[in-house]
Amino acid sequence: MQTESIAPFLAMAVALAGAALVVATRHTPNLREGCSLVAAVVQFVLVLTMIPPVLAGGTLHFTVLPFLPQVAIAFRVDALALVFGMTASFLWILTTVYSIGYMRHGQEKDQTRYYAFFALAMAATMAVAFSANLLTLYVFYELLTFMTYPLLTHTGSREAYAAGQKYLLYQLGASFIFLLPAIILTYTLSGTFDFRPNGVFPPGTSATVLVIVYGFFLAGSAKAAIMPFHAWLPAAMVAPTPVSALLHAVAVVNAGVFLILRVILDIFGRDLLRELDLDVVTAIVVSVTMVLASLRALRLDSLKAVLAYSTIGQLSYMILGVVLLSPTAMVGGIMHMVNHAESKIVLFFCAGSIYLATRKTNISELGGIGREMPWTMAAFAIGALSIVGLPPTAGFITKWFLVTGSIEAGSLAVLVVLVTTTLLSAAYYFRIIRAAFFGSPPEQDAGAAQRAEDSSRVARPTNRELSPLIVGPLLVGAVLSVLLGIFPSFFIELARLALA
């Protein structure tokens, strides 16, 4: 059942209004930050109002700007869109609270620009989540790139601008060379931009051309960080921690995965994917990404770099689950959009808390920090256990569905990959946990002492827990990671509706 509703448009518009209010109140920091927080809360409430009709099996539609009978900027909310939209809008609230504490304690410059572009990025994210067709998705997918660039380069350092250039090169290059041609070819072959549950291509379409189009879609989704289109993500770790959280959990990478899931489910459809063996090809590509990313994370010392490569691997978990094409694995893949986002944002919040309190960025420097910052490291441990997939965390539900689904699909190779990457992720996360709670503080060298004394831009390190505005969001996120593991039924139902 289709229902006309302005709600999806308003979810995007409230973020635009929030950006405008942030700029208008730039001379009053408390009011400016309040506007950002209120916009985030209102957006989440608007998304919550969409739950009843979607759970009833319906969809919400709203056309913003029609061009031709088959060409329009339009929104549609179904179960898959709601999974993405709910996750992103709720995490915007957490990230806004955390940002207030982080930006104030770190005495970051250009805070008005930061909050304004964060809101603009969330407007683009909602539009991507609720896109009714490829045209709408493409327009806002590209706008998301431009809205996040000022955030990535926020510090203004040479490293930040180098990372920003790499980000634009990968995103725009992949988009113009692969994604846009794929969309044009899709319209040429099918006569529509719309998403349709069983795919859009008519019978008799050349298999060779379809394989090429699918390959272009995969290569064009650089935000999903599938190797070899992943290098922008580790480079982006020079950004402030709240921006890293935006990239890894709230918006950007999930937008890339969401695009691929839409292509699999609503452009090609499961039957065509299986007929062309594209499910097998995709499974191989993402499995290689998962293994290589896990091996790379195991060798790194930088905490944020480890989290970055962990994200690269975890994104491919989502895609792998869906391309297994078994009902159980597909539910697990879709649920992992939520479970990974909730867990990974906790880990990045903890990394930021550690940096602000101690100026430490490397794992080798974290010996004994669990005794100095028990709340932060307890939350980190919960987030890490969830990524590894241990009960009672949300990640366990994902792993259970994926493992069961791989057995259901009769894929021993995928089962081996899942077990291998789980063991590797356990190895690199437990290395951090062991150092934090059972290690000894390293001797401070001259360089570390100098960094600790450098208070030219940020407050002097304290080696203890910081403001509740910083610790509070990471604890809330950790608790949610556990609650989603204990009470997963709501998102399981949404995931099943997305596949109905």
DSSP 440-480: -PPPP-HHHHHHHH--SSSPPP-SS---HHHHHHHHHHHHH
What pLDDT was estimated at residue 442?
A: 74
- DSSP letter, residue 57: T
Q: Are 470 and 352 in contact (CB under 8 A)?
A: yes
pLDDT at residue 338 above 90?
yes
Domain count, the chain: 1
| pLDDT tens, residue by residue, 339-363 | 999 999 999 999 999 999 999 999 9
- Asked whether residue 445 is domain-assigned, the answer is yes
pLDDT at residue 232 above 80?
yes
pLDDT at residue 498 above 50?
yes
As a whole number of angstroms, the longest Cα–Cα distance in the chain is: 70
What pLDDT was estimated at residue 461?
A: 60
| pLDDT tens, residue by residue, 414-433 | 999 999 999 999 999 999 99
β-strand partners of 72: 66
Report, as an integer, the average pLDDT of 54-58.
94
Dihedral over Cα of 205, 211, 216, 217: its sign:
positive
Rounded CA separation 96/8 (Å): 21
pLDDT at residue 275 above 70?
yes
Report, as an integer, the average pLDDT of 162-180.
95
Q: Considering the entire predicted model, what is its pTM? A: 0.94
pLDDT at residue 177 above 90?
yes
- Asked whether residue 344 is domain-assigned, the answer is yes
What pLDDT was estimated at residue 462?
A: 61
- Asked whether residue 380 is domain-assigned, the answer is yes
Average pLDDT over the chain, rounded to whole? 92
Q: Are 170 and 222 in contact (CB under 8 A)?
A: yes
Rounded CA separation 227/296 (Å): 12
Report, as an integer, the average pLDDT of 438-464.
58
- Asked whether residue 388 is domain-assigned, the answer is yes
Environment class of residue 301 by beta-carbon count within 10 Å: exposed (0-12), middle (13-18) or buried (19+)?
exposed
Rounded CA separation 214/220 (Å): 10
Model confidence band, residue 246 (pLDDT cutoffs 50, 70, 90): confident
What pLDDT was estimated at residue 251?
A: 86
pLDDT at residue 448 above 70?
no
- Asked whether residue 487 is domain-assigned, the answer is yes
| pLDDT tens, residue by residue, 258-267 | 999 999 999 9
- Asked whether residue 153 is domain-assigned, the answer is no
What pLDDT was estimated at residue 441?
A: 84
- DSSP letter, residue 72: E
Rounded CA separation 212/269 (Å): 16
Calculate what percentage of the chain has a pLDDT beyond 70: 96
pLDDT at residue 280 above 80?
yes
β-strand partners of 73: 65
Rounded to 5 degrees, φ, ψ at 335 are -65, -30
Q: Which of 248-262, 421-435, 443-457 has the lowest mean pLDDT?
A: 443-457
Rounded CA separation 84/487 (Å): 18
Q: Could you tell me the two tokens for 146?
A: 């431009």
- Asked whether residue 475 is domain-assigned, the answer is yes
What pLDDT was estimated at residue 70?
A: 74
- Distances from the Cα of 460 to the Cαs of 47, 334, 447, 450, 452, in angstroms? 40, 42, 15, 11, 7
- Counting runs of H as helices and runs of E as strands, what totals does the chain give? 23, 3
DSSP helix/strand/coil, 205: coil
Residue 156 CB coordination number (10 Å) = 9
What pLDDT was estimated at residue 247?
A: 79
- Give residue 194's region: left, alpha or beta (phi > 0; psi -120 to 50): beta
Q: Which of 99-108, 129-138, 298-307 has the lowest mean pLDDT?
A: 99-108
Model confidence band, residue 453 (pLDDT cutoffs 50, 70, 90): very low
- Asked whether residue 71 is domain-assigned, the answer is no
Report, as an integer, the average pLDDT of 31-48.
97
| pLDDT tens, residue by residue, 60-93 | 999 998 877 678 999 999 999 999 999 999 999 9
Q: Could you tell me the two tokens for 454?
A: 């450098």
Domain assignment of residue 332, given as a range? 277-451+460-500
